[in-house]
């Protein structure tokens, strides 16, 4: 599977935010990003929605939820979530199973 980013270290908050923004910029047809609140330190808590909006309303599709980095020190979860988004977006249209996921789920 192709990926956009290197996964050779854990990303800082700034690196993670930049990576998420890059994915959204590269895949605006599949991804939406919003800040759902601020952390105790005043940082944005990001939520991303991945779905092909051309195949239906995201709210009408079955969905799955990935929660990551709930606590500040749990950085492996955010890397796993980033990798999942990266693989799904980067391989969309090239891998039939991944394309089907983005077309039919939110």
7 occurs within a structural domain: no
Task: Output the pLDDT for position 74.
Answer: 86
Q: Is the pLDDT at 8 greater than 90, yes or no? A: yes
1 occurs within a structural domain: no
Task: Output the pLDDT for position 70.
Answer: 84
Q: How far, in Å, CA of 94 to CA of 53, rounded?
A: 18
- Count the Cβ atoms, other than its own, within 10 Å of residue 82: 23
Percent of the chain surpassing pLDDT 70: 100
- Our count of domains for the chain comes to 1
Element (H, E) at 61: none
Half-sphere exposure of 63 (CA within 13 A, CB side): 13
- Going by the DSSP 8-state scheme, the letter that residue 37 receives in this structure is E
| Residue-wise pLDDT tens digits, 23-71 | 999 999 999 999 999 999 999 999 999 999 999 999 999 999 999 988 8
pLDDT band at 73 (very low <50, low <70, confident <90, very high): confident
Q: Which domain holds residue 53?
A: 13-104
């Amino acid at each position: 599977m192709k990926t956009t980013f290197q996964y050779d270290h854990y990303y800082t908050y700034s690196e993670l935010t930049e990576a998420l923004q890059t994915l959204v910029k590269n895949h605006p047809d599949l991804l939406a990003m919003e800040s759902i609140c601020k952390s105790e330190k005043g940082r944005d808590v990001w939520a991303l929605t991945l779905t092909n909006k051309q195949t239906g309303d995201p709210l009408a599709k079955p969905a799955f939820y990935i929660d990551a980095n709930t606590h500040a020190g749990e950085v492996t979860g955010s890397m796993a979530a980033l990798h999942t988004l990266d693989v799904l977006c980067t391989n969309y249209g090239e891998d039939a199973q991944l394309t089907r996921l983005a077309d039919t789920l939110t």
